[in-house]
A and B are shown apart, each in its own frame.
Chain A
Amino acid sequence: MDIIILILIVFFAGAVLTAFSEKISTLVQDILFLGTLIVPAILFFTGVEMNTDTIISFNKVPLNLGMTPLSYYFALIVMGLAVLTGVYTVGQMKGKKRKGYFYLNYILSIGAMFGILMSKDLVSFFIFWEIMTWASYLIVIYNGKNVQKIGIKYFVMSAIGAYAMLMAIVLTHSLTGSFLISDLISGFGSWDHGMQILIPVLLLVGFGVKAAIMPLHIWAPDAYSNSPMSYTAIFSGALSKMGVYGMVIVFLALLTKVPEGALIRDIVAWMAAITAAISTLYAIKQDDAKRLLAFSSIGQLGYIVIGVAIGTPMAMLAGLFLAFMHGVFKSTLFMVVGAVEKQTGTTDFTEITGLIRKMPWTFLAALISIIALAGIPPLGGFVGKWMLYESLIQSDHFMLVTLVFFSSTAAFLYCYKILFGFFLGQEEKEWSHVKEAPALMVVPMIILSIISVVLGTFPQLIMKPINAAMTFYGMPDTYGVLWKESMLFNKWGSDIALTPIMYGIMAIFIVVAIFLFFRNRSRTRYVTTKDISTSGEIPKEHENLTFTRGFFQPFLRAVEPVMRKQIDKYMLSFAQGIEDLFEFTRRIYNGNGQSYAIYAMIFLIILLVLGKNLFG
């Protein structure tokens, strides 16, 4: 049997088994859950080969499966994150209710993502896409809070995306007579002009929903923050990348063949840049860590989409690199929030303070992923940011690069808010009982943090698969041109060498740290955060000196004009209008026989009056 089918069978059978094993014991269930995630990952990393075709037929409908270099790259993200978040999930879900339901959907969505990546035809792509949407929808409503508002919002947006995609698939079939993605790509160049624009746009709408690009993003803040954090790590880290995966195919293989492609690229890039800027401002405003990270995810996905949409070799490299990095650091951050939530019971910045001494490992993971998110050297986020800026400048998108720079500088604000809000600041008595999260939760976070650090110095580890994916779709080889080992080049030949920078930073840091940290730590006395300089007044134990409310108030006052407009409100007023229309229709079909008789009468009168004009 082919190994891809084997992996899919393990996923789907494992999901069902895990769901029903709840009755036996939770331990068995946890082991089955982990096994269902780890076994496919092992099979994938050892057995799956590039460019092999497998066909399974369901009732004469053939599903073509196989792996391309691009899907290999995205499968790396999905499978790696699935295992690490899986371990974390076992720790986080301990003692929770309805674990079977959660595990079932969790595994189903990961299996579906794997299926999407391995699909070689549009039918199986669509089937797996819908499984993924359904499974994630069921997890979004797992908490049972605001199901009406949040669940329906997510589902309506997903439906819009799915219908757009379905339309594109049907159109493709009517034009080529085949569902194969390779036929779509090869036949695309010879179609008539309208179709060449329509099909990519429809596909982009479908993928844009999952990648949360404005104006299709409105589901994301609620859905991200409402699902359990262990799933949001997957949701934001891997599931949103499925939208990016689709976009990469559209931009790489389809839009390069149409003259209007450049315009569509610019429009999508600008929409993504505006998404990034606005959602960053909203992230700064949030007082709840989950919502903050949800907005931040939308912003970071904006950068990825900008890179993919611009589509020069370096921009594509940047987009795909950032996609991996975002998967790594954003899942870590969601895990951190989940760990804090589990240990303290809340994720509100205005309530929690000073956890650094109670949860040092969680803090370390948060710190490293924040540095990666902010794009500060020497961690991996910087590599992606650097390539993105260089590519934007080289492709003459000067206003775009300014906007991206603005959002990425503004991102420092919310980065600091996460670290300060949870871990730093006054240590209040209220939280003195808090302990470090269990090892099952801490270890995945630390492993992911190490990956962030390693990729900052040795980006070639994932540049190679990216390069393979890009050359597979006909892009020039970037090795030695844009990057070589740990050196990055831009088009003008200016370069940046990451290894000496990394070593330089390490050397200076260690010297100063020894001087300041280790010498002073042993020679000085620890004092509490109440023992601070307050002009001679000594604050009492119960006096709350915490500063978290209105954290960036002056800044928000400065950017207030930009934030007044909300796309959400327009969407809601549109929905209200539709609802009013239905209400009106309902008044016509009121189920009263007398009114129907009147309608028939009116219809007859109209016929009699206008009959001659219409049919005569």
Chain B
Amino acid sequence: MEGILLHILGAIATFLLAFFVGMTYGGIRRKVIARVQNRYGPPIYQNFIDAFKLFSKTTAVHHGAMHLLGPAFLIVSAVMALMVVPVLRDNLWFTNLNFHGDLIFLIYIMVFGPLGMALGAGQTGNPNSAIGVTRGLSQMVGFEIPWVMALVAIMIKYNTTSIVDLMNIQNEVGQWLIFQNPFAFIAAILASLGMFRYAPFNIVGAPTELASGPASENGGKFLFTMMSAGSVFAFVKLTLFVDIFLGGASNLIVLVIKTFLLYMIPVLYGVVNPRYRTEQAVTYFWGWPLLFGFLAIIYSVYF
């Protein structure tokens, strides 16, 4: 019984951590973009204020059952992904379901949420939402290819598909995977530009063009749910990158430093770029990222 209680408490702690870190990073991102554009920008804790405001609002209207359930799909997928990604090495608090999930499961569970959200957005009947969804799905086909190639390269390098094993082996060998197979890291980080959906790949939300796309009919608690799911997802992706490329983290400070450095890559790439058209955003990933994916697999097989 105590074991179950510890598990539940650990899961809640993981979620709170992911929520807090993800929200803070979002705030930092807004600040960074503002400074690059020579503005003062909002305070770093602005996202928490926004979240609190959205949470305390009451919703007045809805468009039907799927619309109400869409954000639920999103948060389920975010939390399940969080449960299978190891946050720290050898830590009792953040174990969760780490030992029962692998990379392929993770790829698929991360898709579950956006698809459910897409259904919710579809029922609102707003054409902008549907356009945003079709763009998002198209872009996903684009970046999944180099992403999967990078993961396959890693899996065959170490003969495992478990994230925990990958992390442990890197520490036993004493060398991070980013040095052992740099091509895989490059392919994965280029794919992550699409995953984070910051400029130039922000074709889904596309402010001033699609009126925030799939989110356009949602407000109040729905928007809060989507916002927290987004923050948790950002944390999951960053932690996953740290786990599989940077040898994981033994305590929270190391984790924060590593994830922050990784987070700056898509943010800084995006801040100086305008937005792509959809077909450009798709075919981008079939150029250099794909080549690096090939190189990663070849490197893993022959070296």
Contacts and interface: CB of A to CB of B under 8 A. Distances in A.
Interface of A: 354, 356-357, 360, 367, 371, 374-377, 382, 385-386, 389-390, 393, 396, 398-399, 401-402, 405-406, 409-410, 412-413, 415-416, 419-420, 424-427, 490, 492-497, 500-501, 504-505, 508-509, 512-513, 515-517, 520-521, 523-535, 545-547, 551-552, 554-555, 557-558
Contacts of A494: 102, 160-162, 165
A512 B277 contact: no
Given A420-B119, A496-B105, A529-B123, 18 more contacts: A377-B112, A406-B145, A412-B140, A413-B137, A416-B115, A420-B130, A500-B97, A504-B80, A516-B71, A524-B60, A526-B63, A526-B64, A529-B126, A534-B126, A552-B134, A554-B134, A555-B138, A555-B141
B62 A525 contact: yes
Contact of A532 (B118, B124, B225): B124
Contacts of A409: 111, 140-141, 144-145
Given A427-B125, A558-B138, A386 B130 contact: no
Contacts of A385: 104, 108
B143 to A, nearest CB: 9
B105 A386 contact: yes
Contact of A501 (B60, B100, B279, B293): B100
Q: Secondary structure at chain A's binding surface: helix, strand, loop or mixed? A: helix
Interface string B255-283: 00000000000000000000001110011
Interface in B164-190: 165
Given A409-B141, A521-B68, A501 B97 contact: yes
B138 A554 contact: yes
B227 interface: no
A501 B131 CA distance: 32
Contacts of B193: none
B32 interface: no
Given A416-B118, A505-B76, A521 B62 contact: yes
Given A377-B108, A398-B297, A424 B62 contact: no
Contacts of A490: 102, 161
A559 to B, nearest CB: 8
Shortest 4 CB-CB distances between A and B: which pairs?
Answer: A529-B125, A424-B122, A554-B278, A555-B138
Contacts of B111: 374, 376, 409, 412
11 contacts: A354-B125, A360-B65, A375-B108, A398-B152, A416-B118, A425-B125, A501-B100, A524-B59, A525-B60, A545-B125, A555-B282
Contacts of B142: 558
Contacts of A386: 104-105, 108
Contacts of B138: 413, 552, 554-555, 558
A405 B145 contact: yes
Interface in B200-235: 211, 216-217, 221-222, 225
B109 interface: yes
Contacts of A531: 61
Contacts of B76: 505, 508-509, 512
Nearest to B109: A377
B98 to A, nearest CB: 11
B101 interface: yes
A315 B57 CA distance: 52
Given A390-B161, A526-B64, A554-B278, A376 B112 contact: yes
Contacts of A505: 76, 80
A591 B144 CA distance: 65
A526 B119 contact: no
A371 B116 CA distance: 10
A222 B53 CA distance: 55
B165 to A, nearest CB: 7
Contacts of A520: 59, 62, 68, 221
Given A517-B68, A524-B62, A504 B155 contact: no
Nearest to A519: B221
B159 interface: yes
Contacts, number: 232
B83 interface: yes
B156 interface: yes
B91 interface: no
Contact of A527 (B63, B83, B222): B63
A490 B277 CA distance: 40
B135 A554 contact: yes
A289 to B, nearest CB: 16
Interface string B29-41: 0000000000000
Chain B contact patch, size range: 35 or more
Contacts of A424: 66, 119, 122-123, 125, 130
A405 B146 CA distance: 11
Given A376-B111, A398-B156, A496 B141 contact: no
Contact of B225 (A516, A527, A535): A516
B43 interface: no
Contact of A402 (B58, B148, B221): B148
Contacts of B131: 547
B13 interface: no
Nearest to B60: A524
Contact of A376 (B115, B133, B140, B159): B115
B115 A356 contact: no
A492 B157 CA distance: 12
B254 interface: no
A493 B297 CA distance: 22
A504 B145 CA distance: 29
Given A512-B72, A532-B217, A546-B127, A555 B104 contact: no
B75 interface: yes
Nearest to A406: B145
A596 to B, nearest CB: 63
Most buried by B among A410, A494, A515, A552: A494
A423 B179 CA distance: 49
Interface in B69-107: 69, 71-73, 75-76, 79-80, 83, 97, 99-102, 104-105
B69 A524 contact: no
Nearest to B148: A405
Contacts of A396: 156, 301
B79 to A, nearest CB: 5
Most buried by A among B63, B68, B141: B141
B149 interface: yes
Contacts of B135: 554
A496 B103 CA distance: 10
Most buried by B among A371, A425, A515: A425
A390 B104 contact: yes
Contacts of A521: 62, 65, 68
Nearest to A387: B104
Contacts of A419: 119, 122
B125 A532 contact: yes
A332 to B, nearest CB: 17
A398 B111 CA distance: 22
